[in-house]
Structure 1
Amino acid sequence: MAGRIRVGIGGWVYEPWRGSFYPQGLRQKDELAYVGQHLTATEINATYYSSQKPATFAGWAGAVPDGFQFAVKASRYCTNRKVLAEAGESIARFVEQGIAELGDRLGPILWQFMATKRFDPDDFGAFLQLLPASVAGVPLRHALEVRHESFDDPAFLSLAREAGAAVVLAEHDEYPAITGHDVGFSYMRLMRASEDEPTGYARDDLVRWTDRAKAQVERGDVFTFFISGAKARNPAAAQAMMVALG
């Protein structure tokens, strides 16, 4: 099943993007619409820190064009806990806050775990059982970003595959780059943008990631986000990759 490659950044409110990515004088309330015109996805970070109102999600959905999708970062109260199996109430509160208002603009939910969180097969397996398949009739896709080397384990990859959850391929100086099994979509977070490169990444690196996305899209949607690193360069990196994709 071939899918679609979407390329984006983390969030849309960042002062150094004003005058570099965003035109001088663009109103802050128009920045998301500008992202929607020039990229094909973005991660919502605000949901990691606090709940949002349904009307807020509806407003975000209305600001971007057809085909654009938001990845939604799950609440830290779901993932930053000692016993993941006890996260059920927090997960329900997160998915029911109004993310269904994004409708067909809803991309994957990003479940991000702290670098100190180690793989416990029983506990993590119980957590995966808590992830709902849909909310208010809107299908949910789940992506797992794990940051401890203990997750580089066939048992973890098997649990994720059985749950239908993608394993985020994170390009980072300190976190392991773990490649999961095919679950019908894939998710990459590229975090090595350099201030010295006008497009964040050297041409050869952009070609390498572009080729990977082209290979992955034969099996379903691909989400690629340029995150952190030299953050000011990330919109340029995303746009360069979109040019490379044609």
Structure 2
Amino acid sequence: MGTSGWLYPPWRGVFYPPGLPHRRELEYLSSRLRSVELNGSFYSLQRPTSYQSWYAQTPDDFIFSVKGPRFITHMKKLREPETLLANFFASGVLALGAKLGPILWQLPPTMRFEPAVLSAFFDALPRDTESAAALAGKHDERLDGRAWTSTDAHRPLRYALEVRHSSFQGEEFPRLLSEHDVACVVADSAGTWPYFEQVTASDLVYLRLHGDAELYTSGYTDEALEAWAAKIRRWRAGRDVYVYFDNDVKVRAPADAISLAEKLGVSR
């Protein structure tokens, strides 16, 4: 249970205590919640030193989900992914070690369902940290001198995909995800984008809660959180469930995440 990101000025003095140094915001968040969705990686390739710093600031049981780069999803539209994926993993993702959780890929609202493109992308994804380290070693010159190409242990890697175009609705899309063991993101977007509840990965369910009534803005009532808690209890049977609140505009994300965690008995 966590939030999508943590660097939000409106949170300061509301969720974060007044006077808390900005450099300690992740440390504070990790004292209240067990996970965060790292979204800076969506906008640009981060550096290994950043991942190392985030690792050092959080408790041993904290988990980072990492959002894949928009250059791969929005600009290249998942095509020719090999070098792009090599650069992404070489940017320091594996420095998170045991704190690395699922990797999220969010497609743009304009991208239609193209099974062949999706299948080729899924086939290119490394399925464990050793394979990811080997792929990272194939990075291009942009990562020279700043690449992280090793792992401290062999661990499986898991992926989730969030889609936003109506052409994904139908039986073929979830079947394709199941074939590749990729989780279909359960995205609550106040009706803005298609909604899916199909469980498509063997051991992972991934939720992004963008707002109950208004995208990115509205909070969740107690009744709405109870309804989500009931669904999550069902999904938890034999699976890991990751839940991230993205309704950050009015500082509702951390409060809603803490409230839902309490309902599920997984609060700090």
What TM-score, normalized by structure 2, do the two folds share? 0.84
Change (3 A) 1:47 1:83: closer
Cα offset, 1:242, TM superposition: 1.2
Indicate yes or no: 2:239 matched with 1:245: no
Q: Over residues 159-184 of structure 1, what are the superposed CA-to-partner deviations in whole Å (9 max), with x where a residue is unaligned?
A: 11111110100001211111232421
Which has the bigger relative contact order, CA under 8 A and spacing at least 6?
Answer: 1
Aligned length: 237
Indicate yes or no: 2:138 matched with 1:121: no
Distance across 1 between alignment mates of 2:57 and 2:197: 33
* Alignment-derived partner of residue 158 in structure 2: 141
* Alignment-derived partner of residue 4 in structure 1: none
Please tell me whether the aligned partners of residues 109 and 143 of structure 1 are also in contact (alpha carbons under 8 angstroms).
Answer: yes
Cα offset, 1:87, TM superposition: 2.0
Indicate yes or no: 2:198 matched with 1:174: no
Name which of structure 1's ranges 223-232 and 54-63 shifts more when overlaid on structure 2.
223-232
Unaligned runs of 5+ in 1: 1-6
Which of the numbers 80, 91, 103 marks the counterpart of 1:86?
80
Q: Over residues 115-138 of structure 1, what are the superposed CA-to-partner deviations in whole Å (9 max), with x where a residue is unaligned?
A: 010001111111111111122344
Distance across 2 between alignment mates of 1:156 and 1:162: 10
Distance across 1 between alignment mates of 2:124 and 2:104: 15
Name which of structure 1's ranges 129-138 and 38-47 shifts more when overlaid on structure 2.
129-138
Distance across 2 between alignment mates of 1:231 and 1:186: 27
Cα offset, 1:84, TM superposition: 2.6
Distance across 2 between alignment mates of 1:229 and 1:64: 21
- RMSD of the alignment, in Å? 1.7
Name which of structure 1's ranges 177-186 and 80-89 shifts more when overlaid on structure 2.
80-89
What TM-score, normalized by structure 1, do the two folds share? 0.91
* Alignment-derived partner of residue 3 in structure 1: none
Please tell me whether the aligned partners of residues 161 and 183 of structure 2 are also in contact (alpha carbons under 8 angstroms).
Answer: yes
Please tell me whether the aligned partners of residues 177 and 201 of structure 2 are also in contact (alpha carbons under 8 angstroms).
Answer: no
Distance across 2 between alignment mates of 1:95 and 1:155: 29
Q: Which runs of 4+ in 1 moved over 4 A?
A: none
Q: Which amino acid aligns with 2:194?
A: P
Which structure shows the bigger proportion of residues in strand conformation? 1
* Alignment-derived partner of residue 157 in structure 1: 174
Cα offset, 1:14, TM superposition: 0.4
Please tell me whether the aligned partners of residues 210 and 245 of structure 1 are also in contact (alpha carbons under 8 angstroms).
Answer: yes
Paired residues for 1:40-119 under 5 Å: 40-81=34-75, 84-119=78-113
Indicate yes or no: 2:225 matched with 1:225: no
SS where residue 80 of structure 1 aligns?
helix
Indicate yes or no: 2:197 matched with 1:203: no
Please tell me whether the aligned partners of residues 38 and 239 of structure 1 are also in contact (alpha carbons under 8 angstroms).
Answer: yes
Cα offset, 1:78, TM superposition: 1.1
Name which of structure 1's ranges 148-157 and 78-87 shifts more when overlaid on structure 2.
78-87
Distance across 1 between alignment mates of 2:239 and 2:188: 21
Task: Report sequence identity in percent.
Answer: 39
Distance across 2 between alignment mates of 1:82 and 1:32: 31
Distance across 2 between alignment mates of 1:82 and 1:34: 36
Distance across 1 between alignment mates of 2:242 and 2:227: 15
